[in-house]
Amino acid sequence: MADTPQHPDRPATDQPATDRPVYVIGGGPGGLSVAHALRAQGIRAVVLEKSDRVGASWRRHYDRLHLHTTRRLSGLPGLPMPRRFGRWVSRDDVVRYLEKYAEHHDLEIVTGVEVSRVEPAPDGSGWLLRATGGRELTGAAVVVATGHNHTPRVPDWPGHATYTGEFLHAGEYRNPAPYAGRDVLVVGVGNTGAEIAVDLVEGGAARVRLAVRTVPHIVRRSTAGWAAQFTSILVRRLPVGLVDRLARPVAKLSVPDLSDHGLPRPDTGLYSRVKEGSIPVLDVGLIDAVRKGRIEIVAAVDGFEDGKVILADGTRVSPDVVIAATGYVRGLEGLVGHLNVLDARGRPVVHGARTPQHARGLYFQGYTNPISGNLREIAIDAEKIAKVIAREGGGRVSRLPVT
């Protein structure tokens, strides 16, 4: 694994148009898989990672995290995940796998380099990357893979700026030890919020409340050995309305009615929600904890006032700690926002093997959250992106020496 690109500080204008690698921004699963797929096509790919190691975002996840997708369907191209990792792979094993992946495929990775802006190259061929230390790098193509969960998002709640209680985003949460014996309010009932709430209960928190604005669809991660991911793959290309109708009786059979505990069944279809960007909550203990009253469902947070949290139903609560599981934003505006390739919510207008009509050679990898599993789709898209670059790059891309 190389530590530096061949010409990291050469002025961009001095680099021949026929000697330009493909730059991959981000050393997570998306970036590493694309880099390998490009190498398999004989194309030189250089991964630029701003931290000092690959898989930086995975290292920051909470301790108990396990994939909700199966090991066999979560491996990246060219290297399966080891069987010893078990069916539901832990965070630490994902990190080990990414390290091994980079080593196994001898990927060219430059750490400690952050790309701040991507622009068309001055000669009209390829892309100019402005990076740490005044670097100007020119690539035949660029794959942006900085991650779906890039920048923590905290809503602009009234009074939040002056709230003096303990407050943290879920991205800062590691384990329940600091919260044992304490009253904790978790805000947000996506997969992260639900799992952190369960973790707190099991870790000895005195009271755990979960603030819910939109009631989620809850799905068993596995039923009689059949992973929910398998069903998701089977139905993902069916009509949305049909999947919604099929999901209703399945939910009634597999998930108990939690209406009396504050979680009624959603009134909108499961797949309709997915298409709007809302993935179902995969149950890893939430159902049981809610039924037993160990997790209390409360109304959404509307603001903060006088050291208290104001809920949407007018209730005021005074938890010891507030943990905001309120998601992330992509954080791509500074990098590519000037290229008119993002939608109103800051998401790439195209992804995978497609490239914007006015920004040929610029690709986005890993910015969707598909029902069939993010790592699985990343693996599929990596090979598609590499094939397109190999086909359309012509003589502009730097080729690896034949060995």
Judged against a pLDDT cut of 50, whether residue 341 lies above it is answered with yes
Domain match, 316 and 170 both: yes
402 occurs within a structural domain = no
398 occurs within a structural domain = no
Domain boundary among 324, 357, 383: 324
Domain match, 302 and 167 both: yes
- pLDDT of amino acid 403: 53
Query: Residue 255 belongs to what domain range?
Result: 153-324
Domain match, 136 and 161 both: no
Domain match, 159 and 260 both: yes
Domain match, 16 and 129 both: yes
Judged against a pLDDT cut of 50, whether residue 217 lies above it is answered with yes
Domain boundary among 324, 347, 380: 324
Q: What is the mean pLDDT of residues 349-368?
A: 93
Which helix H or strand E contains 283, and what residues bound it?
strand 281-283
56 occurs within a structural domain = yes
Judged against a pLDDT cut of 70, whether residue 5 lies above it is answered with no
238 occurs within a structural domain = yes
Q: What is the mean pLDDT of the chain?
A: 92
The total number of structural domains in the chain stands at: 2
Judged against a pLDDT cut of 50, whether residue 6 lies above it is answered with no
Please report the DSSP string for 109-178 in residue order.
Answer: EEES--EEEEEE-TTSSSEEEEEGGGEEEEESEEEE---SS-EE-----TTGGG--SEEEEGGG---SGG
Judged against a pLDDT cut of 60, whether residue 56 lies above it is answered with yes
Domain match, 191 and 316 both: yes
Domain boundary among 324, 345, 379: 324
57-81 pLDDT, tens digit per residue, is 999 999 999 999 999 999 999 999 9
Q: Indicate the range of 94-98, 225-229, 289-293, 382-386 predicted with least confidence.
A: 225-229
Domain match, 70 and 165 both: no
Please provide residue 186's backbone torsions phi and psi, each rounded to the nearest 5 degrees.
-100, 130
Domain match, 178 and 227 both: yes
CA-based torsion, 362, 368, 371, 372: positive or negative? positive
Q: Pick from 372, 327, 368: which is nearest to 192 by CA?
A: 327
288 occurs within a structural domain = yes
255-286 pLDDT, tens digit per residue, is 999 999 999 999 999 999 998 888 899 999 99
285 occurs within a structural domain = yes
pLDDT confidence of 10, banded at 50, 70, 90? Answer: very low
Residue 167's CATH number:
3.50.50.60
Cβ atoms within 10 A of the Cβ of 133, count?
9
6 occurs within a structural domain = no
Distance CA 172, CA 393 (A): 41
pTM of the model: 0.90
pLDDT confidence of 224, banded at 50, 70, 90? Answer: confident
3 occurs within a structural domain = no
The strands making up 308-311's β-sheet, listed across from edge to edge, are 301-305, 308-311, 316-317
177-197 pLDDT, tens digit per residue, is 999 999 999 999 999 999 999
